[in-house]
């Protein structure tokens, strides 16, 4: 037996319509009538499954899960966010793992974008 990949990410929100619109405008994720979409990864895409101690401050402690999207051309994403008025939560970070930026959705959920 083996895990082939993640089957989905699910969460609750008070305003599904507004959040769907925000994800479409901000990240280009169009959701269908069933309030979801299928994202098919490219061949070079990786999915990371990682656990953090409760005391870790990599993302807000009151947030139990953080989304991470692997992207191309992170500079273009930063320009897009600036154009539509979405602020970065902190300065971009570059490391041997790639470049990372963070935004938050209208529910205050941190979203990490990663370019490898």
* DSSP bridge partners of 113: 69, 101
Q: How much is the pTM?
A: 0.89
Does 60 fall in a domain?
A: yes
Sheet holding 93-95, edge to edge: 67-70, 110-115, 98-104, 93-95
Task: Give residue 46's pLDDT.
Answer: 85
Mean pLDDT (10-residue bins), the chain, 116 residues: 79 94 96 93 86 92 91 96 97 96 95 94
Does 82 fall in a domain?
A: yes
Task: Give residue 43's pLDDT.
Answer: 86
Does 7 fall in a domain?
A: no
Convert the pLDDT of each residue in 38-53 to its tens digit.
998 888 888 888 999 9
Q: At 69, which CATH number?
A: 3.10.180.10
Does 74 fall in a domain?
A: yes
Enumerate the H helices of 1-116 as residue ranges.
Answer: 16-27, 74-84
The tally of domains found in the chain comes to 1
């Amino acid at each position: 037996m083996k895990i082939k990949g993640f089957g989905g990410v699910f969460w609750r929100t008070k305003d599904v319509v507004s959040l769907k619109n925000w994800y479409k405008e901000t990240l280009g994720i169009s959701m269908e009538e069933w309030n979801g979409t299928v994202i098919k990864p490219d061949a070079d895409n990786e999915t990371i499954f990682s656990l953090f101690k409760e005391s870790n401050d990599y993302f807000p402690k009151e947030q139990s899960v953080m989304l991470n999207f692997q992207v191309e051309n992170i500079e273009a994403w930063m320009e897009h966010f600036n154009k539509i008025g979405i602020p970065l939560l902190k300065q971009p970070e570059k490391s041997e793992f790639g470049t990372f930026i963070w935004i938050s959705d209208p529910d205050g959920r941190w979203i990490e974008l990663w370019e490898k």
